[in-house]
């Protein structure tokens, strides 16, 4: 249940800023997180449409338990703006600030360019094919560049912010048809930002299938956790496989091989997941994160060329110490494998071919349905 609830007719002006820019309501996208509502809005300058933005919103406190919830959601909004507004990078979806009205508080964010990888994977699945190794390396290098920038970000007096995104997954990485890559929702990040609102329950902020073992098991996370998550994304878009897929199962032998300390850690993590209201499948993901082996890692990367298999095997190690230690190291390695053979134009061409092929398949399916209906 979101912390702001009121009916809005399409076209309603939510607010105008000091520069005379108005924000027109277009669509309610549901709850974002922490009780925040997510709206699609249109910017209007002197009455003329100037593109889409996303608005995270929270209403006025009314009283009782709801008031406490609204106040906490407001604190989260302010924290997100303080953390993300200074992050200026072409690969980061930009946050433009907080606007307060009598009815609600709004955070204004650029609408991501293009489609998220989830949607693009949907097209690939329709065609029963995955993205090329070079395309995967290209996306990985672009996201690694973003992560390096964010991980190294500093705040007041040049103090490191210690940002860890914690939700690098298919729904937070966007690509447009020109090959531009963007990462969204750094507002969910872990950081050392002074005065931040601490979560009462530790859990993944994004899709648990793309969480690092240390995050799933309630251990300390750092920048290397984001790199593990990026490895899972790269594996998924190039093979359709996921190292933590619960369908792969966890044998009794694997569970019995855990030490008493490791077993206790798994049980605590499962208890935390239940308290946080996570889906039941997350329990199996936690077991998988605690028990997968090098043989499992070899199995999910089998058939890939060395240019992709080698960095993936390093990214997806259970121990953070065995992975790439920084996003800069990862980006350098991926660009070395890429060389000059694949760039933005090549990525755009692969995406456009995917779109065209998927469109042809869908048109063929619709034609068959029509033929079947007529014959019936």
pLDDT of residue 64 exceeding 90, the answer is no
Using N-to-C axis directions, what is the helix angle for 306-315 and 327-338, rounded to 10°? 170
Highest mean pLDDT among 58-62, 122-126, 360-364: 122-126
pLDDT of residue 107 exceeding 80, the answer is yes
Chain segment 215-253, per-residue pLDDT in tens:
999 999 999 999 999 999 999 999 999 999 878 778 888
Pairing of strands 13-16, 37-45: unpaired
DSSP element (H, E) containing 70: helix 64-84
In whole angstroms, give the CA distance from residue 33 to residue 94. 18
- Domain 13-110: CATH superfamily is Phosphorylase Kinase; domain 1 (3.30.200.20)
105 is written with which tokens?
A: 């508080």
Q: Please check whether residue 326 is in contact with residue 91, taking contact to mean a CB–CB distance below 8 angstroms.
A: no
Q: State the span(s) of the chain assigned CATH 1.10.510.10.
A: 115-351
For 210-227, give one letter per residue: b (16+ CB within 10 A) or e. bbbbbbbbbeebebbbbb
Four-point Cα dihedral 163, 53, 101, 190, nearest 10: -10
pTM for this predicted structure: 0.89
Q: Is 256 helix (H, G, I), strand (E, B) or coil?
A: helix
Chain segment 154-174, per-residue pLDDT in tens:
987 788 899 999 999 999 999
* 143-154 mean pLDDT: 96
Four-point Cα dihedral 151, 152, 155, 157, nearest 10: 150
CATH of 115-351, one of 3.30.450.40, 1.10.8.100, 1.10.510.10, 1.10.287.70: 1.10.510.10
Q: State the span(s) of the chain assigned CATH 3.30.200.20.
A: 13-110
């Amino acid at each position: 249940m979101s912390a702001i609830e009121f009916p809005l007719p399409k076209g309603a002006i939510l607010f105008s800023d000091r520069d005379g820019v108005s924000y027109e309501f277009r669509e309610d996208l549901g709850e974002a997180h922490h009780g925040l509502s997510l709206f699609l809005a249109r910017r209007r300058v002197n009455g003329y449409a100037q593109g889409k933005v996303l608005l995270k919103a929270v209403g006025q406190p009314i009283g009782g338990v709801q008031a406490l919830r609204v106040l906490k959601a407001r604190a989260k909004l302010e924290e997100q703006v303080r953390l993300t507004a200074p992050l200026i990078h072409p690969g980061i979806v930009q946050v433009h600030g907080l606007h307060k009205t009598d009815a609600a508080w709004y955070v204004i964010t650029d609408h991501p360019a293009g489609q998220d990888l989830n949607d693009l994977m949907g097209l690939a699945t329709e065609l029963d094919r995955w993205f090329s190794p070079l395309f995967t390396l290209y996306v990985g290098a672009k996201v690694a560049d973003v992560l390096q920038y964010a991980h190294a970000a500093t705040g007041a007096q040049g103090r490191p912010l210690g940002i860890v995104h914690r939700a690098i997954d298919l729904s937070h990485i966007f690509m447009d048809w020109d090959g531009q890559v963007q990462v969204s929702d750094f507002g969910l990040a872990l950081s050392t930002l002074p005065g931040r609102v601490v979560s009462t329950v530790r859990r993944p902020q994004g899709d648990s299938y793309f969480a690092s073992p240390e995050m799933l098991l309630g251990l300390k996370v750092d920048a290397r956790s984001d790199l593990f998550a990026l490895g899972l994304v790269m594996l998924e878009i190039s093979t359709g496989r996921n190292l933590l897929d619960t369908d792969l199962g966890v044998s009794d032998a694997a569970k019995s091989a855990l030490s008493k300390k490791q077993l206790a850690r798994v049980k605590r993590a499962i208890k935390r997941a239940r308290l946080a209201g996570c889906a039941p499948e997350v329990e199996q993901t936690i077991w998988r994160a605690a028990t997968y082996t090098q043989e499992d890692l070899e199995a999910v990367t089998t058939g890939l060329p060395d240019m992709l298999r080698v960095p993936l095997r390093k990214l997806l190690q259970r121990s953070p110490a065995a992975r790439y230690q920084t996003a800069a190291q990862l980006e350098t390695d991926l660009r070395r494998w890429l060389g000059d053979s694949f760039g933005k134009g090549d990525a755009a061409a692969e995406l456009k071919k995917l779109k065209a092929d998927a469109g042809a398949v869908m048109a063929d399916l619709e034609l068959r349905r029509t033929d079947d209906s007529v014959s019936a």
